[in-house]
Chain A
Amino acid sequence: MSIRETNLTVYGNRFNAYTELRLQRNRSTQISLLNGDVVSNTKTSDGGVSARVFKDGVWGFASRPQIDNDSVIATVDEATRNAALLARHAARPEIVLPRTKTFKESDFGTKRPRLTQQQSIEFLQAIDAHIAKTYPDLKSRSVARLDLDMEKHLYTADASEGYSNTTRSLIQVRMTTTNDAGQPVEYSKTFGGRGQFEDVFTEPAALFADIAETHRHLMNKRTAVSPRAGLHDVVLDSDLAGILAHEAIGHTTEADIVQEGSVAADYIGKLVASPLITLVDFANTYRGETLPVPIYVDDEGVESQDTILIENGVLKNFMHNKESSVLFGVPPTGNARAYTFSDEPLIRMRNTAILPGKDKLDDMIASIEDGYYLLRPSNGQADSTSEFMFGVTLGYEIRNGKLGSAITDTTISGVAFDMLKTVTMVSDELSWTCAGMCGKKTLIPVGMGGPSIKCRVHLGGV
């Protein structure tokens, strides 16, 4: 059965409570070259059917890998039984979930001929050969292709229906050299974003300028100095502002995290940031541009809405699924998303960004007498207190308004709702990244965006 063509409405007569029925298949390709050798060459396809049923205040969920008539029926029936079984132990006052009815289709599959595996490997080899030839000073290099296509077809008891094929393609380039002490120094950069490989990457040479920039930063890191531990004036470049928006604020304003005790629970309507800060979790589009992870209907059949989290410094809203929207007395926002067919939807971000301001990046750097310009994050983590941490793999000192030496890899931290009040400048450009996977019980791709912001954060170091 094709996921798209399967008529799910015929199973509506099996539903005897609020039910979501979802067909899903995730397809991924991973090819990795390490110093020219193919060390990973694999394709994965993981899919099936799932059903989730809400009855007597509790949920039943079931999934099977077969996508056929018998499997769909068995899955719906098992989820229904699970809800009834749990209700015998733990029934709660019935909550009437909001009824939503929509029909949306989106397909970000390529219309171009697909590359064969051989052509894909040759594409990566051309990049690898260019790096090997152009940068003989490297001790090690790796080039990897990572694709993920998520195809979903949803039908709910409210007769809401959605089909989506959300795709992304990435190429990661990692370079390692040594410093004068013979110690390894590394830097990596990920290119690509929404779309399938053929639409995102036209030819290897199109990446060469960005690879040159990546190599330039690596060479600067050979003589990097340790940052001074403590609180400093910094300019966070857009990648870091994006992860700040996602990790430090976004997670604390997910309604399930709020229910768990997030500090943001008490802040609605209050000033939590500089008036220069407006922060939005976008569903799919910003200023006419389709965003990295476009969600038109979520996995509960809710039409996805943009959610303004902070507007001119004031906390405005939380992100919701259907159940939390009832508890908070607001409409659902379309943030319920599942990663694989066997996962239930959770409240997840989509495309989270701080909106641009009016300042110029050069002026922001020039305004700092003694501080740091931080460009690239690695991992990040947030907390219910809004205390955040990000790894930083690329940064430079700022001395008397000018960039100085590169700094060694470090970590920045702060309490987001305090730190955002220290923002004094916001740049006038906005850039998005689509390489991130958010981890909250399960993984899921997210988009993050931001301008550059000037603020004060705590740096780890000597």
Chain B
Amino acid sequence: MVDRAFAQRSLDALLKRGFQKARVRLVSSDQHELQAEFGHTNLLRTTHNTELGLLGIVDHKQGSLTLNNVTDEGLPDAVENLWAVTSGSRADPANDIAEAQPKRIFKAGPEAADLDLMYERIAEALDYAKTRYPTLKMGNASISFASRQALFLNSNGVDFDTTRSAYHASLMFTARDGTDVSSFNYTGVTLAALDKPLVSHATTDALMKQTTEQVRTRKVQQKFTGDMIITPDCIGDFLGFLLGSIGNQPLISGTSLYKNSLGQRVADAALTLHSRPRDLVGGYFVTGDGYEVQNATVVEDGVLRSFLLDLYGSRKTGLARAATGGGAWVVEAGATPLDTMIRDVKAGILITRFSGGRPNDKGDFSGVAKNSYYVDNGEVSYPISETMVSGNMAALLTNIVAISSERADFGSGIFPWVRVSGIGIS
């Protein structure tokens, strides 16, 4: 439970010290986690924390401080520390805090953790893996329940009280048959309730099954340019370049490939990408700079509809502030069933995990196709290893051939399978 009166005293103390604008974020969080290693539940973890985030602006200079467990006795030191951090900075007229908005209380998620059910679900998943896939070796597997109450106040009158809780499950596994070993694979889902077996969520069961098939792999026979079907498990890696290029730093510095692309086509018309923090279990209510978050469409029918600038980025560039703080990504389903999508590929790969170097500012990328398959004449042929894929992230989005009608819901994002052409495979 956050101490509202303490948050207000913190804001008052900042203004009294001489800050012309100030922001306070007080967070109280509790987490319970059950963890299994090597197929046995072996750790119960309970953590509590309180965190105070202070931001002050004086003469257009801005500083911030994040401390945990600050009490009334420690508050004067924290305020003085922030004053030293801020007054030593440099003036920038773009520094500001969110304007006044209607006071709101937000709440989502279960009231409390059901520890018994958490234990049952993780034991059930371990048992399922052991009986269904005997060659699968479970690594770290966990279910956590995190509850977080946050209070956002600022000197313009912002007052948001948010409480959000959710379960999160993650599973990591490798398969071993004799001395043959697969690549590891993993998945995670954020859930409002533990009403179904963990393996029934998103692509979990499929990944387990595929991992057992991947103990014996083959190299792709020859270097070629072909199609790549990107699974929901790793489509985020291929959207990341676009999303990373439309935020503060690349737009302020003018180095973004997309700096002049608002309202322009940046992807095939099949791609529509939303940020839905208000809808998803793994979403949020308030942006990092203190605005009530809104769902937003970033790419609509291939056209870039919004940058991801916050208040500072907006004031610095003169462009609109985004209604979303990003995340909670949802790609709209397409019209092509996955089976048809695979059947249409003459030569290519089905990629489930991408292990690659960070793309450069131009978007050029290369990396290893992990836990992936060669697709030959419309059929998933064999699991591959030591296979590199390369191309350009910006071109990849314009080379989308089809988007599947099926999607996987991870709680923090909802994604389909996406087929792209023109990928270098070696």
Contacts and interface: CB of A to CB of B under 8 A. Distances in A.
A85 B92 CA distance: 54
The interface centre, meaning the residue of A47, A83, A262, A409 with most chain B CB atoms within 10 A of its CB, is A409
A269 interface: no
28 contacts: A37-B90, A45-B66, A48-B69, A61-B43, A64-B47, A65-B51, A82-B46, A86-B44, A89-B123, A117-B89, A118-B84, A118-B88, A121-B89, A184-B257, A260-B140, A260-B174, A261-B181, A344-B43, A378-B357, A381-B355, A384-B181, A389-B367, A393-B357, A409-B358, A458-B426, A460-B357, A461-B424, A462-B424
Contacts of A58: 41-44
A83 B174 contact: no
The interface centre, meaning the residue of B175, B252, B253, B357 with most chain A CB atoms within 10 A of its CB, is B357
B357 A391 contact: yes
A186 B140 contact: no
B174 A229 contact: no
Contacts of A196: none
Give the interface size bracket for A toward B.
35 or more
The interface centre, meaning the residue of A48, A57, A66, A389 with most chain B CB atoms within 10 A of its CB, is A389
Contacts of B388: 229, 411, 413, 458-460
Interface string B41-57: 11111111111000000
B137 interface: yes
B7 to A, nearest CB: 16
B41 A261 contact: no
B223 interface: yes
Give the interface size bracket for B toward A.
35 or more
Contact of B88 (A120, A140, A266, A384): A120
A441 B140 contact: yes
Given A34-B252, A38-B90, A261-B181, A43 B49 contact: no
B68 A139 contact: no
A210 interface: no
Interface of B: 34, 37-38, 40-51, 61-69, 81, 84-90, 92, 94, 115, 119, 123, 137-140, 172, 174-176, 179, 181-184, 223, 248-249, 252-255, 257, 312, 316, 355-362, 364-368, 370, 385-386, 388-390, 424, 426
A47 B52 CA distance: 12
A2 interface: no
A39 B248 contact: yes
B258 to A, nearest CB: 11
A411 B46 contact: no
A59 interface: yes
Given A390-B357, A411-B368, A415-B386, A41 B64 contact: yes
B370 A383 contact: yes
A42 B50 contact: no
Contact of B386 (A43, A79, A458): A458
